[in-house]
Amino acid sequence: MTNKNEDTFCKKMRKATREIHSISDALVNAKLAFGFLDDSVWADGLLIFYEIFRYLELAMIRWKHTEVGSLLQDELRRTEAFERDLEFYLGKEWTKNYNPRGSVTKYLNHLKEIENTEPILLLAYIYHLYMGLLSGGIILRKKRQVMQKIWPFKGSQTTVNNITDFGNSNIYELKRNMRDTMNSIAKTLDEDTKNKLIEESKMVFTLNNEIIRSIEGAGTILIKKTMYFVIPVMIFLLALFIAMRKV
């Protein structure tokens, strides 16, 4: 059992990435705020991370007899969940004309380079992305559900969230297992490798931020939804101004 006051490796990674992690949180909130209301923005948010999770899951299978593979839990496999959600939002033939955008390709190339040179560093990506999905991803899902209930301009209310559906698995237990496994692995590594993992953790969020910035439609949706409120208010103020001129 880990002592709560112990400065574990996972805590060290969290401290090292605190600043850039905060930037990521702000970007997600800014980009996906209207993804809560518009399926196309939500789908684009799924699309940018689909290839990344898919690559990492295949890498964990390729390296299943190493430390990299030890983080693979069946309950955490998300590739098929991504594909089911994307099929729902983009249609059954969404892959027909699909090509990863530049920022995603850059991310994938970086992962390939790591796997070819020092695969142990993939642990940084696996840990942060899956922990992020287990925490932030579920929070986003709940926010989206709430916003869709209270938003006055309702479209279709049918949504799917396979990506954040872990069935009967206990989220707390999944996160604890991930942390415990990562901390156990770190105890077997030399200081140089641990330092590299901490530095690579910063790159995780740097690359995440780049692909998050590429989410399409958020600005357009913001303007469109805002105008629903602005135009009636402007008309009211204009009518009030004209009425006062006549007094």
- Asked if pLDDT for residue 37 goes beyond 80, the answer is no
Banded pLDDT at 241 (limits 50, 70, 90): very low
Average pLDDT of the segment spanning 111-125: 98
pLDDT score of 136: 65
Query: What are the backbone angles phi and psi of residue 162, rounded to the nearest 5°?
Result: -60, -35
Banded pLDDT at 39 (limits 50, 70, 90): confident
Task: Say how far apart CA 125 and CA 159 lie, in whole Å.
Answer: 28
Report the candidate in 186, 205, 206 with the shortest Cα–Cα distance to residue 196: 186
Residue 126 near residue 56, CB atoms below 8 Å: yes
pLDDT score of 25: 77
Any binding-site annotation on 128? no
Q: Domain 9-216 falls in which CATH fold?
A: Heme Oxygenase; Chain A (1.20.910)
Average pLDDT of the segment spanning 131-144: 66
- Asked if pLDDT for residue 148 goes beyond 60, the answer is no
Task: Say how far apart CA 43 and CA 37 lie, in whole Å.
Answer: 11
- Asked if pLDDT for residue 67 goes beyond 80, the answer is yes
pLDDT score of 161: 79
pLDDT score of 145: 52
Any binding-site annotation on 14? yes
Torsion of CA 103, 104, 105, 110, to 10 degrees: 90
| pLDDT > 90 fraction of the chain, expressed in percent and rounded | 53
- Asked if pLDDT for residue 127 goes beyond 50, the answer is yes
As given in the structure block, the two tokens for residue 4 are: 């709560």
Mean of pLDDT over the chain: 80
Q: Is 6 left (phi over 0), alpha (psi -120 to 50) or beta?
A: beta
- Asked if pLDDT for residue 31 goes beyond 70, the answer is no
Map out the domains of the chain as residue ranges. Answer: 9-216
DSSP 133: I
CB-CB neighbours of 89 under 10 Å: 17
Average pLDDT of the segment spanning 34-41: 68
